[in-house]
């Protein structure tokens, strides 16, 4: 299995420019800037089947293609490093262990879309990532990989880091733009899409850190090579983040076509000793939970969509048989209730409502009518809000009730839980 994104991660000083240059660093940028036209770069990315690795899985080349070429306004690239989807921690590793891969991706992308300014929006808690990336930016300016006349060409580019301030919703691309403009992170109504009216009213592409880190490799090795690493309509590798009840939590770079079973058992060391798998969240907390019978699914965007979940951000959270699914649903609902930005009523009121019901059931105070009401409340959030946060509440929380209904019924009928006491022993 060929590692691309993580190949430097375990080297000493992997964040330094000289380490990066030692292994064909900035060759992709050099090739793009000196031998290719922006249109050729964009075409190559389209052919590679690279899809947005922040969670939505939108075709990257197509996204770039929406930037109008005849618009006289400045164009911007905004890097979404507001990694907040629970279960996800890959972008942190890229920024801390291989920041120049991100910067090279930024250079190539800006060249393709005709942008001369890129903003990297990093979540405020990632202080170390910001420091390391800033160090890399300074090095890149010194060596002429950023700034005026990059690599002796006439292409100029400035890169600026902007720290977030603790709001999950700012990972939503238009909320991120609002935040970058100094406002509350309220998602915008679309259309207009950011490609036409984005940051400061100008055409803007917003890409995830990992997506951009893939870009230089596609330029160096070619679109076909990259597409072949993955599966049909979904090229390349991605970094899966595994956490929860596994023996070896951490990041694993694998083909997007790897099965969930292989990731859990062959790579992440399987379930902790003496226990067996009960449920898995395959792509961050917003994805529908899967039962132990569903893990033979491939982890590409289309396969997971076909079984009613999503590949999302690649954050895999594994739960063994000691986990009470009512409690797990309550934890997810609590997250959504806490992070709803409050702009749309169905989400603001609905997420809090769902959490209170879940908490009640969890505490042994559930009523039979709760289970009857839940699908209606949960179902009326998704599709009725400005952004996809509402859909996430519907998909994620709804899936626990649908797939583990008997546990909810048991809690309501018996007014107790046989499993939450087991959690005490989890903490060693």
Could you list the residues that contact other proteins (CB under 8 A)? Answer: 83-89, 91-92, 123-128, 163-168, 182-185, 241-245, 249-251, 281, 285, 315, 317, 319, 323, 328, 331-332, 334-335, 338-339, 341, 423-424, 426-428
Nearer to other proteins, 143 or 275 (CB): 275
User: In the complex, what is the shortest distance from the CB of residue 332 to other proteins, in angstroms, rounded to a whole number?
Assistant: 7
Nearer to other proteins, 251 or 357 (CB): 251
Count CB-CB contacts under 10 A for residue 131: 13
Nearer to other proteins, 257 or 270 (CB): 270
Nearer to other proteins, 48 or 179 (CB): 179
Residue whose structure tokens are 């067996």: 276
DSSP character at residue 149:
S
Rg value, the chain, Cα: 22
DSSP character at residue 385:
S
User: In the complex, what is the shortest distance from the CB of residue 57 to other proteins, in angstroms, rounded to a whole number?
Assistant: 20
User: In the complex, what is the shortest distance from the CB of residue 303 to other proteins, in angstroms, rounded to a whole number?
Assistant: 23
Nearer to other proteins, 47 or 272 (CB): 272
**How far apart are alpha carbons 331 and 223 in whole angstroms?**
41
Nearer to other proteins, 62 or 127 (CB): 127
Nearer to other proteins, 53 or 241 (CB): 241
User: In the complex, what is the shortest distance from the CB of residue 193 to other proteins, in angstroms, rounded to a whole number?
Assistant: 24
Nearer to other proteins, 85 or 104 (CB): 85
Nearer to other proteins, 112 or 396 (CB): 396
**How far apart are alpha carbons 34 and 112 in whole angstroms?**
12
- The beta-carbon contacts of 394-397 under 8 Å, at least 24 apart in sequence, are 395/286, 395/287, 395/288, 395/308, 395/309, 395/310, 396/281, 396/285, 396/286, 396/287, 396/288, 396/289, 396/332, 396/336, 397/329, 397/332, 397/333, 397/336, 397/354, 397/358
User: In the complex, what is the shortest distance from the CB of residue 47 to other proteins, in angstroms, rounded to a whole number?
Assistant: 32
Q: Is the peptide bond before 191 cis (omega within 30 degrees of 0)?
A: yes
Which of 298, 237, 287, 245 lies closest to 269 in space, CA to CA? 245
Q: Is the peptide bond before 192 cis (omega within 30 degrees of 0)?
A: yes
**How far apart are alpha carbons 14 and 275 in whole angstroms?**
37
- Strands of 40-141, DSSP E: 76-81, 117-122
DSSP character at residue 188:
P
**How far apart are alpha carbons 255 and 262 in whole angstroms?**
11
User: In the complex, what is the shortest distance from the CB of residue 300 to other proteins, in angstroms, rounded to a whole number?
Assistant: 22
User: In the complex, what is the shortest distance from the CB of residue 345 to other proteins, in angstroms, rounded to a whole number?
Assistant: 17
Q: Do 320 and 270 touch, CB atoms closer than 8 A?
A: no
User: In the complex, what is the shortest distance from the CB of residue 122 to other proteins, in angstroms, rounded to a whole number?
Assistant: 11
Alpha helices in 146-300 (DSSP H): 173-180, 209-221, 223-229, 260-262
**How far apart are alpha carbons 278 and 59 in whole angstroms?**
33
User: In the complex, what is the shortest distance from the CB of residue 380 to other proteins, in angstroms, rounded to a whole number?
Assistant: 24
């Amino acid at each position: 299995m060929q590692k691309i994104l993580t190949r430097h991660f375990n080297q000493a000083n992997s964040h330094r420019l000289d380490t990066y240059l030692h292994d064909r660093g900035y060759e992709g940028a050099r090739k793009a800037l000196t031998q290719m036209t922006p249109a050729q770069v964009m075409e190559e990315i389209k052919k590679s089947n690279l899809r947005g690795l922040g969670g939505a899985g939108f075709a990257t080349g197509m996204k770039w293609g929406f930037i109008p070429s005849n618009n006289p306004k400045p164009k911007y690239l905004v890097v979404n490093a507001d990694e907040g989807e629970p279960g996800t921690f890959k972008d942190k590793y890229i920024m801390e262990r291989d920041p120049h891969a991100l910067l090279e991706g930024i250079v190539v992308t800006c060249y393709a879309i005709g942008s001369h300014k890129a903003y990297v929006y990093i979540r405020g808690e990632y202080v170390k990532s910001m420091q390391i990336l800033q160090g890399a930016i300074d090095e890149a300016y010194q060596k002429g990989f950023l700034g005026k006349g990059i690599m002796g060409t006439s292409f100029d580019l400035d890169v600026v880091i902007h720290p977030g301030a603790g709001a999950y919703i700012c990972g939503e691309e238009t909320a991120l733009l609002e935040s970058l403009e100094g406002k509350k992170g309220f998602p915008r109504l679309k259309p207009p899409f950011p490609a036409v009216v984005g940051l400061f009213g100008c055409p803007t592409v917003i890409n995830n850190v990992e997506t951009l880190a893939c870009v230089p490799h596609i330029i160096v090795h070619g679109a076909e090579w990259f597409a072949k690493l993955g599966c049909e309509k979904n090229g390349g590798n991605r970094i899966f983040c595994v956490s929860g009840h596994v023996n070896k939590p951490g990041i694993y770079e694998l083909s997007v076509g790897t099965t969930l079973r292989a990731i859990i058992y062959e790579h992440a060391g399987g379930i902790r000793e003496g226990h067996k798998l009960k449920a898995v969240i395959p792509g961050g907390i917003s994805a529908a939970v899967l039962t132990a019978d569903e893990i033979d699914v491939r982890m590409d965007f289309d396969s997971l969509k076909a079984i009613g979940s999503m590949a999302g951000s690649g954050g895999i959270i594994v739960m063994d048989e000691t986990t009470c699914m009512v409690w797990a649903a309550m934890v997810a609902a609590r997250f959504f209730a806490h992070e709803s930005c409050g702009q749309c009523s169905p989400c603001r009121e609905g997420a809090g409502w769902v959490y209170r019901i879940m908490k009640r059931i969890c505490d042994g105070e559930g009523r039979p009518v709760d289970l009857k009401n839940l699908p209606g409340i949960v179902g009326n959030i998704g599709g009725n809000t400005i952004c996809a946060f509402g859909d996430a509440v519907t998909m994620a929380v709804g899936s626990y009730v649908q797939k583990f209904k008997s546990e909810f019924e048991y809690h309501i009928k018996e007014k107790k839980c046989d499993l939450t006491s087991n959690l005490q022993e989890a903490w060693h």
